Homo-oligomer: A and B are copies of this chain.
């Protein structure tokens, strides 16, 4: 994984924060509750989003650490779950970024880039299996590097989380793939 941070090379139009959130005094602390085992060990091979991850046909395994396993009781009722990951390899000071192949630089909050002031990744996955005793959660797919820490799991509620009519102006949305 060494050199990964350097791979976020400078691109035209990018802006960096004067104070790097990675080295500022934090306002709050996160603890890792588990980690993700994925087939992806390099940034090049890692799918860029959950749709691309699903299209590979590769499942993923999330393991929750022993102290937190009782917290999984009842999660088995959910067909889909939200995973919040901690994308600890990404730089945190790129406030305006130019995605590869993008025409112009964009603000980080208009992107799903892993490089953000607080490197929290949001992933909605299908819950394929759950074993509370071993803390193993089987997912249909994941779009993060092997070994990525996890900071939260939530049940996905269609009533508040599903907005199929949501749009991004000017973005080509070739239609959602099935579950």
Binding site for B on A (CB under 8 A): 15, 17-19, 21, 24-33, 49-51, 64, 67-68, 70-80, 82, 84, 86, 88, 95-96, 105-112, 116-120, 122, 124, 132, 149, 151-171, 173-177, 179
Determine if B109 and A167 form an interchain contact, defined as CB atoms under 8 angstroms apart.
Answer: no
Number of copies: 2
Closest CB of chain B to A112's CB: distance in Å?
A: 6
B residues in contact with A163, CB < 8 Å = 80, 124, 156, 158, 161-162, 179
Determine if A73 and B106 form an interchain contact, defined as CB atoms under 8 angstroms apart.
Answer: yes
B residues in contact with A177, CB < 8 Å = 159
Determine if A18 and B157 form an interchain contact, defined as CB atoms under 8 angstroms apart.
Answer: no
| A96 to B71 Cα, complex, angstroms | 6
Determine if A112 and B157 form an interchain contact, defined as CB atoms under 8 angstroms apart.
Answer: yes
Determine if A107 and B74 form an interchain contact, defined as CB atoms under 8 angstroms apart.
Answer: yes
Determine if B71 and A153 form an interchain contact, defined as CB atoms under 8 angstroms apart.
Answer: no
| A32 to B75 Cα, complex, angstroms | 29
In-complex Cβ contact of A50 among B160, B176, B179 (8 A): B160
Determine if B24 and A79 form an interchain contact, defined as CB atoms under 8 angstroms apart.
Answer: no
| A61 to B176 Cα, complex, angstroms | 30
| A179 to B82 Cα, complex, angstroms | 21
Additional pairs, 9, CB under 8 Å, beyond known A26-B31, A28-B151, A156-B163: A17-B67, A28-B119, A33-B118, A78-B167, A107-B132, A118-B151, A155-B168, A160-B176, A162-B164
| A166 to B178 Cα, complex, angstroms | 12
Determine if A159 and B51 form an interchain contact, defined as CB atoms under 8 angstroms apart.
Answer: yes
